[in-house]
Structure 1
Amino acid sequence: MAASCSVVCCEEERDSDKAVIVRFSNGNVQNGEKLDFITYKSVDQVNPRKKNRLMMVAETERMSYVGQNFGASSLKCNSLCKYYVGVLNKHTMQMELHNAQLFNMQPVVSGETVVTANPKDAAQTYKEKVDTLIEAFGTNKQKRALSSRRLNQVGSDILHQAVAKAANTVIDEKGLEALQQEVAETESQAELALHLPPCNMDADVPENVYPLDELLSPVDFKALEQAGSKMAAFTSEELQNMKDSGGALSVMKHLERLPSVGEARDKMACCAFYLSLLIKLSRQKSVSRKFGVEEGCPRTVQTKLFRTFTVETFNNGKVQNMVSASMHAKLATYCLALLLHMGHMTADLTLLHRDLAISEARVVEVAKSMGLTLAKPPRTKETEADLHDKHKQASLVLPLVKYHQLAERRKRKKMH
């Protein structure tokens, strides 16, 4: 029967006193007894990162091997795993377990110079390294493509430098604030131009520039007959209540001036009701599915409003209709176009900016983007209250006016 043995764990050892397991990177050692091993420890015993550094040297008559537990050539498994070596005492039949660490022994050829790493190579990106390989070992097609790409890159850099130099020259001449103002005005005009109603620039009469059929189709007029006739029947008391409750001033102005009878009265009433819906929609951000139901808005007209002036978004798994900033600009242009048809190609900008709850300057920008002619109140010696009551008017006169922002900018007054 074989003799039994017991396992004994040694006390905790320091890293520098661990047992050593070596492996050779270039092959297997046939006779390990002919190797002389020497261990070198780091002399810096204070620095915690250096005090456990070891270097193992193995020498033969023909070759020297070096391994270390630090640096790029060290084995990463020492930090990931724990290794143990068992030593059996044949007299006591006890096996002692010692901590161990691995060394990768690499041959050192005498006279060979050690190539130091170039910091520039370490800073190279993956693309730059691939370009270097193509330049050295690539095919003729790959080299031509690389040369063409580098030439294009040089041309692009020269173009960027020229553009930057020209931009700096313009900034120095005009000033940064003036350029920012120009960009803001240009973007504002471009935004408004994208949301104009359907426009016929070649129209012979002003009524056909922004056709009424594009704003309200005959089908829409027929659907709005009932709601329009109900609004046309408002009494003076009902109109006053509408005004006191914050109703649209532009709508009330036209309701007070409705034609007495006939098709023109019905048409004006339908336009007034549709205008009230547009103004109400412009005052909201999130629109519910019950929008306009209390006022008697037909389902077809409500669907048209949602498709034309709202943006669908998803919130908590539900579809919501939102009125974005761009849709607010679109609503302002459609309201102004509708007011032109209701007021014989003339609209009151002051009432409109109060109804839409936007600045008067913004409404003026909308009118300019539509090519309207602005009527300024005459300057007379009047009180501030009288000047406040002067309403700005916009009229559609052919040909349409083209406004230039740079020519309109007021000159700064010189300081004396």
Structure 2
Amino acid sequence: MAGKAVWEYRGDPEQLSVLAQFSNGTLQTPESVNFTLYKNKTDKKPMSKKQRILTADTDRLSYVGNNFSAEAMKSSSLCKYFVGVLHKESGKMEVFDAEHINMQPILESNSVSKEGKDQTDLSNRTYREKVDALIEVFGTKKQKRALNSRKLNQVGSEILNQAMAKAAEEIIETKGKTELMSEAMNQTEEESLSQFLPPCDANADKVENVYKFDDLISPAEYEALESVSAAFRNITPEELQQMREKKQHGSFVLQQLQELNLVKDLDRQARALWYLDCLMKFSQLKTVKRKDLIAQNCPSIICGKLMKNFTVISFKNGRVQNSISGSMQSKIVSYAIALALHIADFQVDLTYLQRDLKLTESRILEMAKAMRLKISKRIGFSDSTLEEGHKIATLELPLIVYKPPRGMKKRKRI
């Protein structure tokens, strides 16, 4: 028959055992830790006699804990701890009162030195370091946890920065500083252009595949344009004359409507012209509302694309609104030029587009060069019968690469 275990309470308020709990993990080798217990020997306050400070030193870190801080007092008031020692031979267990102490690691920057050195370092600390020191002593549990997390992240970022600096030095040694700077400049220019230019296939074998029609008008949008483009598809000379008198459409659209009966695919041309006319009217708005587009008989799917691709969300007077910024204006111009290339057999009169979009000549030429179009000049006649030079943009293969300007030429000395 197995022996019966008996436990005896050996409680003594003056002789408390200590239970140490480490906040950042468990000890793998407890025998390698050196513990030191400090007691308060003051005689003035009875409660002060129970104050204990426990320190622990390991090969990597040092720890400290106490039983009189705000956190320790809160945890000790909710629980009572005991330590039991079992004697295997007699089967008796002696139970002692215990004190629970939570051990916190001491970081190197927080180690306490001599008083004279502390006073000297205190004057040299930054405001951030002084605030951190106050949090370590008087901060709440949440503040201390955030402080420890920030310091650990800081150590990790320093290691990462060192690794990145080392990798950068190796790249500079292999490639050279001049070549790296030229590559960075080219990548920056390409990224800035790709933000507002339509998708471009520079290696295309045909001009119609450089700026693909489906990238400008998706198949779903093309189907939605069937009903609204009927006015353009079935236009009569009288209706075209009324459009010129009312000036509700741009010069480029009116010119193409006049030649609409001469094209092979009349239906495709009418749909593209209606979309281009809508895009040019859209570019003149500052703030855009979906209901205003729908009021102009714009299909819902096209309203969604215009709002999503050509506007930015801004906040004004506590309200969210869609507006057309400068970069979005450039994007609209580039898409309008690409669509006009498909409409006008890849040769566009930029002067008409410039007037319809209300741009300066230098601005639309800049956009055409960014799209790698060939620029030429053609003499035409205006309504006042005076000759004027029209700028023509042509899409040819291989695409032209324009060199960036090297600056103004030096003035000749007289």
Calculate the TM-score normalised by the size of structure 2.
0.52
Aligned position for 2:411: 413
Deviation at 1:291, TM superposition (A): 3.3
Aligned position for 2:138: none
**CA displacement 1:279-338 (0-9 Å, x = unmatched):** 011101101122333442211111121111112334556542211111101101100000
Aligned position for 1:296: 297
Gaps of 5+ in 1: 1-27, 29-114, 131-141, 160-182
Aligned position for 2:200: 199
Aligned position for 2:232: 231
Counterpart-to-counterpart distance in 2, 1:238 and 1:412: 55
Tell me the amino acid that sits aligned with residue 221 of structure 1.
Answer: Y
Alignment of 1:198-277 (within 5 A): 198-243=199-244, 244-245=246-247, 247-260=249-262, 264-277=265-278
C-alpha change, 1:338 and 1:323, in structure 2 (3 Å) is same
Counterpart-to-counterpart distance in 1, 2:286 and 2:207: 33
Q: How high is the sequence identity, in percent, across the aligned residues?
A: 37
1:401 aligns with 2:397: no
Alignment of 1:59-208 (within 5 A): 122=123, 125-126=126-127, 191-208=192-209
- The number of aligned residues is 258
Tell me the amino acid that sits aligned with residue 399 of structure 2.
Answer: L
C-alpha change, 1:306 and 1:126, in structure 2 (3 Å) is closer
**CA displacement 1:44-103 (0-9 Å, x = unmatched):** xxxxxxxxxxxxxxxxxxxxxxxxxxxxxxxxxxxxxxxxxxxxxxxxxxxxxxxxxxxx
**CA displacement 1:169-219 (0-9 Å, x = unmatched):** xxxxxxxxxxxxxx9xx9888644321111112210011000001111222
DSSP-derived class of the 1:199 partner? coil
**CA displacement 1:6-57 (0-9 Å, x = unmatched):** xxxxxxxxxxxxxxxxxxxxxx9xxxxxxxxxxxxxxxxxxxxxxxxxxxxx
C-alpha change, 1:250 and 1:214, in structure 2 (3 Å) is same
Tell me the amino acid that sits aligned with residue 245 of structure 1.
Answer: K
Counterpart-to-counterpart distance in 2, 1:260 and 1:317: 52
C-alpha change, 1:228 and 1:323, in structure 2 (3 Å) is same
C-alpha change, 1:237 and 1:318, in structure 2 (3 Å) is farther
Aligned position for 1:342: 343
Aligned position for 1:355: 356
DSSP-derived class of the 2:375 partner? strand
Deviation at 1:275, TM superposition (A): 0.3
Counterpart-to-counterpart distance in 1, 2:385 and 2:188: 35
**CA displacement 1:225-250 (0-9 Å, x = unmatched):** 11112123334444344344352111
C-alpha change, 1:236 and 1:413, in structure 2 (3 Å) is farther
C-alpha change, 1:392 and 1:314, in structure 2 (3 Å) is same
Residues 191, 326 of structure 1: 8 Å contact kept: no
Counterpart-to-counterpart distance in 2, 1:415 and 1:240: 57
Tell me the amino acid that sits aligned with residue 310 of structure 1.
Answer: T
Deviation at 1:121, TM superposition (A): 7.7
Counterpart-to-counterpart distance in 1, 2:410 and 2:230: 53
C-alpha change, 1:128 and 1:296, in structure 2 (3 Å) is closer
User: Greater CA radius of gyration, 1 or 2?
Assistant: 1
Deviation at 1:348, TM superposition (A): 1.1
Counterpart-to-counterpart distance in 2, 1:198 and 1:123: 57
Counterpart-to-counterpart distance in 2, 1:188 and 1:356: 25
DSSP-derived class of the 1:347 partner? strand
Tell me the amino acid that sits aligned with residue 247 of structure 2.
Answer: S
C-alpha change, 1:303 and 1:251, in structure 2 (3 Å) is same
Counterpart-to-counterpart distance in 2, 1:249 and 1:187: 36
DSSP-derived class of the 1:207 partner? helix
Calculate the TM-score normalised by the size of structure 1.
0.52
Counterpart-to-counterpart distance in 2, 1:260 and 1:387: 28
Range with greater deviation from structure 2 (265-274 or 240-249):
240-249
Residues 206, 398 of structure 1: 8 Å contact kept: yes
C-alpha change, 1:291 and 1:239, in structure 2 (3 Å) is farther
Alignment of 1:275-286 (within 5 A): 275-286=276-287
C-alpha change, 1:188 and 1:393, in structure 2 (3 Å) is farther
Deviation at 1:376, TM superposition (A): 2.9
C-alpha change, 1:354 and 1:190, in structure 2 (3 Å) is farther
Counterpart-to-counterpart distance in 2, 1:314 and 1:333: 27
Residues 192, 366 of structure 1: 8 Å contact kept: no
Tell me the amino acid that sits aligned with residue 409 of structure 2.
Answer: K
Counterpart-to-counterpart distance in 2, 1:358 and 1:367: 13
Counterpart-to-counterpart distance in 1, 2:269 and 2:206: 20
